[in-house]
Amino acid sequence: MMNNIPKKSTSRSLFYRVSAWLHLWLGLVTGIIMVIVCITACIWVFQDEITAYVLEPETRIAYQDKPVLSPSQLQKIAQEKFPEKKVAYATYQQGRAIYLGLGEGRRGGTSLRINPYSGEIISVNERKQGEVDFFRFILNGHRFLWLPWEIGRPIVNYSTLIFVITLITGMVLWWPKKWTKSTREKSFLIKWKGTFKRVNYDLHNVLGFYSLLIVFAIACTGMVYGIEWFSKGLYWSTSGGKSIPDFARHESDSLQLGKHYTPQKAMDLAWNKVLSQHPDAEGFYYNFPDTSKAKSLINITIYPSAGKYYDHVAYSFDQHTLAKMPAHEVYGANFENASFGVKLRKMNYDIHVGSILGLPGKVIAFFASLIGASLPITGFIIWWGKRKKGKKNKKTIAEKEKKLSSIEMRDKLHAEKNVKQPIPKSYRPVLNISKLK
C-alpha cells in the first residue's frame, strides 16, 4: 500500500523548490503570450532592412551631393496630388526616399514615397480606416496581441514582467548543486546525439542560460514603455533618486498669427535653422504644424547616426515667431553631456531592438528573441513529459500495491489454514487407563 512505499527524499532547499514551482506555473500561464511577443520581435528587429531590400526596393535612393527637398516643397507636391488632405509629417533617411504622411493617422491616411532630390513621387499608398501594412500588423501583435488596446496592452506588459521572473527562477534551477565535469557538460553543452527528451532539455536549459542577460535586457526595456511604475522606478534607481519629469505642454502664441511669417516661410526657416546645426545628420523627422490650429507647433527631430535613435535631438518652434520651446530634461537632453540615468533612458529603444550595437546587435537581438520564443515551448515539452512519466509511475505503483495486497492476502489465508485448531473435548478419545498399566 501507499504508506508502505518510502517517499523520495529531496535535499533541495525551500528557496529552490519555490523557484521551481514559480518557474513551472508562471511559465505555463504566460507561455503562448511570450511566444507571440518574441516571434513578432524577431520580425520587427529587421523592419528597416526588410522594407528597403525586400518590400520596397524602389525606395532606395543613392546619395547625391545636393540639397534635399524642403518642407514647403514637399507640402506643395502633396497638395497638388491630394489638395483635400493635410500634410502631417515627413521622414528623411539617408539613402532612402522621403516618407510623407498625409491625413489623420490611424483613422485612415495616405503616404507618399518621394525622391528627396528630384521630387518624383515613387509610390502612393492609400489606407482605409483600420487598414495596416505588414509591419504595423506585426507591431500590433507585439504590443497588444491584436486585441483591443485596453485589453491586450496590460496582458503583454504583465506577461513580460512574469517572463522576467521566470528568467530569474530559471537561473536558480540551472545552477548546479555541485560543479563537476558532468554538471559542467550538462550546463554548458547540448548533447545533440542524445534522445529527443535530452536534446529538448538541453535546448531549454543551455540556450536559456546563454541568452539570459540579453533576453532580460530586451524584456526590461520593453516594460519601460508599458508599465508606468516600472519605468519611473528604473529611472529613479539609475539617476540617483530623481523623478522623471512630465512632458510640458508647449503651444505657439496664437496672438502672433499672421504678424511675422507665412506658414510655408516659417516651415522652411525652422528647417534651415536645424539643418545648419546638424549638416551631417543621417535622418530627420519633420512634424508639420496644423495651420488650422493657431497653437500648433513645428517639431523637428534629428538623428545624427544611421539606424540609431539614442543620440537624437528634438526641437520645437512656435509656428508664428519661430521661438524655440524648452526641451524636455530627459528626452530632449544632449546625449554626450547627459547623466547616466538620462543616457540609459535615451538608449532604451536601441537596447530593446539591438541597434545600440548596429547590425551585429540586431542579429544578437534576433537570435535572443528566437530563443525567448522557444523557451516556453521546450519548457512545456519537459513538463508534459514529466506529467506522462508521473502518470505512468502512479499506475506502476498502483499495480505494485495491488499485487502486494494480493500476495499479502494469499499469505494470510495460507497462514490461517496451517494454524492448528484446538480439538473440542467431545471429540477427544477416552483413554483406557487399565491398558496403560
Return all residues near 29 (Cβ < 8 A) that are at least 6 apart: 162
Averaged pLDDT for residues 297-303: 95
In the three-class reduction of DSSP (H, G, I as helix; E, B as strand; rest coil), residue 149 is classed as: helix
pLDDT value at residue 427:
44
251: in domain = no
Residue 428 clears pLDDT 90, i.e. is over it: no
β-pairing, 283-287 with 87-93? Answer: antiparallel
121: in domain = no
Averaged pLDDT for residues 133-162: 96
pLDDT value at residue 115:
97
Comparing 105-114, 221-230, 411-420, the range with the smallest average pLDDT is: 411-420
20 phi and psi angles, rounded to 5 deg: -65, -40
Comparing 43-57, 124-138, 206-220, 361-375, the range with the smallest average pLDDT is: 124-138
Calculate the CA 14 to chain-centre distance. 31
pTM for this prediction = 0.84
* Sign of the torsion formed by the C-alpha atoms of 38, 40, 44 and 49: positive
Closest by alpha carbon to 365, among 211, 222, 224, 226? 211
57-66 CB burial, b ≥16 within 10 A, e <16? eebebeeeee
Comparing 58-62, 167-171, 332-336, 393-397, the range with the smallest average pLDDT is: 393-397
Residue 34 clears pLDDT 50, i.e. is over it: yes
Is there a contact between 188 and 315 (Cβ–Cβ < 8 Å)? no
pLDDT value at residue 402:
65
In 10 A of CB 195, how many CB atoms?
A: 9
Residue appearing with cell numbers 483413554: 431
Averaged pLDDT for residues 61-86: 93
Residue 8 clears pLDDT 80, i.e. is over it: no
200: in domain = yes
Residue 194 clears pLDDT 70, i.e. is over it: yes
pLDDT value at residue 399:
65
Q: How many domains does the chain have?
A: 1
Averaged pLDDT for residues 97-120: 86
192: in domain = yes
Residue appearing with cell numbers 539617476: 239
Q: Which domain holds residue 181?
A: 14-56+133-244+356-382
292: in domain = no
164: in domain = yes
Alpha carbons 337 and 319: distance in angstroms, whole number = 29
Averaged pLDDT for residues 306-316: 93
Residue 1 clears pLDDT 90, i.e. is over it: no
Confidence of residue 164 (pLDDT cuts 50, 70, 90): very high
Confidence of residue 103 (pLDDT cuts 50, 70, 90): confident
Residue 105 clears pLDDT 70, i.e. is over it: no
36: in domain = yes
Confidence of residue 76 (pLDDT cuts 50, 70, 90): very high
pLDDT value at residue 248:
85
Is there a contact between 250 and 296 (Cβ–Cβ < 8 Å)? no
DSSP states of 283-336 as a string?
Answer: EEEEE---TTSTT-EEEEEEE-STT--TT-EEEEEETTT-PBPPPPTTTTS-TT
Residue 85 clears pLDDT 70, i.e. is over it: yes
Closest by alpha carbon to 313, among 303, 325, 299, 323? 303
Alpha carbons 390 and 396: distance in angstroms, whole number = 10
Assigned C-alpha cell, 328: 524636455
In the three-class reduction of DSSP (H, G, I as helix; E, B as strand; rest coil), residue 261 is classed as: coil
The pLDDT tens digits of the residues spanning 259-299 come to: 899 999 999 999 999 999 999 899 999 999 998 899 999 99
CA angle centred on 162, ends 159 and 165, rounded to 5°: 155
204: in domain = yes
Return all residues near 197 (Cβ < 8 A) that are at least 6 apart: 382, 385
Alpha carbons 333 and 340: distance in angstroms, whole number = 12
Residue 242 clears pLDDT 70, i.e. is over it: yes
> In angstroms, how far is the first alpha carbon of the chain from the final one?
60
